[in-house]
Amino acid sequence: MRGPWLRSILAGVALFGASSVIAMPAVAAPAAPAESAVASQAAATTDAEQERIEAYWTEDRMDEATPAEERLGKGQGKGPGCKGKKCASAVPEEPQPELGKVFFTLGGTNYVCSGTATTSGNSDVVTTAGHCLHEGPGSFATNFAFVPAYENGAEPYGKWTAKELFTTAEWAASGDFEYDAGFAVMNENSGGASLTDVVGSYPIAFNKARGLQYQSFGYPAASPFDGETLWSCTGTATDDPFGASTQGLPCDMTGGSSGGGWITGGAVNSVNSYKYRSDSSTMYGPYFGSTIEAVYRTAAAA
C-alpha cells in the first residue's frame, strides 16, 4: 500500500523521513494468484482511434510533454545528489530500436516516460513503469504511444499505439511502488506488422537472484537532461535501505527515465521507478517476482 511507502518518483523526494518508514524484510515480493494480480483496460481498439492518437502526438506535443514523475512529486525539491558519495553518472547511448519513449495523457496533461519492446507470444508488448500508464490509484492513461529509437525528434520506426494496458492490482489500487510495473500491448502498424517483428525485443526474466549487475536505460528529461537522447547507468543492485522489496542502482538519471528497462543477462528484469530525497543518486526499481510475472503473461497472451 502507499501509506508509509509514499515516495516522490524520480523527482527525488520522500515525504516521510527514514524514521517514519516502517521496516520490512528486504525479500522478493510474495506470489499472488494471476487472477487477482492484473488490472487492465482497452485503449485504441479501432483504426480511427489509432489514427487519432498518431496525429495527436505532434512534434510540439512530444516536446512539451512533462516527465511523469512530476505528477507525483510536483513542487518538491531534489535531493543532495552525489556529493560525498560514490555514484554512477549516466552515459549517453546510441539509439536502440528496442528502446524508446512513451507518451500518454493523465488528467488532461501530457506526460513522457521510457519503455522497452519485450519478447512475447503476441510480439506486441512494451514494458514500462506502472505509473507510466495508470495513476495508482485512479484511472488508466489515454493517448498511449511508444516511439522506438527516438532521438532529437526523429521517429525512425514511427509511433505505435496501444490496444490494451496492464498493471498490477497493487499499483492500480494503492500506488504500491513495490509493484510499479506496467505492460502495454501495441497495435500492429499500418503495414500489419507487430512491434517486435519490426524493432526486435529484449527477453524478460522473473524471480532472479538479488544483487545482480544491471544496465538501466532511459530518456531523462528533467534538468540537466533534455529528454532527446538515450542514456544508461550501470551498477550492482542493492536492497532498499528502508526494507521494501525494491532494489537500487547508482544512477543520476532524472524524470522522464521512468519505465526504462533494467537489463541483466540480456533480459529485462526491472524498470526505473523512484528515488528518495535523502539519496537522489540511487534509482530504485521493483523486484520482478511472481506478481509482476502474472501481469506480463496476461499481456503477452492478449
Domain that holds residue 158: 3-15+34-300
Q: What are 57's strand-pairing partners?
A: none
* 272 sits in which H/E element: none
Q: Identify the pLDDT of residue 11.
A: 35
**Cβ–Cβ under 8 Å, residues 10 and 275:** yes
Q: What are 214's strand-pairing partners?
A: 235
Residue 245 counted as domain residue? yes
Residue 43 counted as domain residue? yes
Residue 25 counted as domain residue? no
Residues 6+ apart with CB under 8 A from 42: 163, 164
Q: Which three cell numbers stand for residue 46?
A: 479501432
What pLDDT digit, counting tens, does each position of 155-175 carry? 999 999 999 999 999 999 999
What pLDDT digit, counting tens, does each position of 131-153 carry? 999 999 999 999 999 999 999 99
Q: Is the pLDDT of residue 268 over 50?
A: yes
Residue 26 counted as domain residue? no
pTM value > 0.85: yes
Residue 10 counted as domain residue? yes
CATH of the domain at 247: 2.40.10.10
DSSP 218: E
CA distance 46 to 15: 42
Distance from the Cα of residue 9 to its chain's centroid: 11
What pLDDT digit, counting tens, does each position of 20-43 carry? 222 222 233 334 434 457 999 999
SS3 assignment, position 35: helix
DSSP 289: -
Residue 68 counted as domain residue? yes
Q: Identify the pLDDT of residue 37.
A: 75
**Cβ–Cβ under 8 Å, residues 80 and 280:** yes
Residue 112 counted as domain residue? yes
Q: Identify the pLDDT of residue 25.
A: 26
Residue 91 counted as domain residue? yes
Helix, strand, coil % (nearest 5) of the chain? 20, 35, 50
**Cβ–Cβ under 8 Å, residues 181 and 130:** yes
Which of 28-42, 77-91, 216-230 is the most confident on average? 216-230
Query: Domains in the chain: how many in total?
Result: 1
CA distance 2 to 50: 34
CA distance 190 to 194: 10
Q: Supply the mean pLDDT for the chain.
A: 86
Residues 6+ apart with CB under 8 A from 196: 98, 117, 118, 119, 120, 123, 124, 125
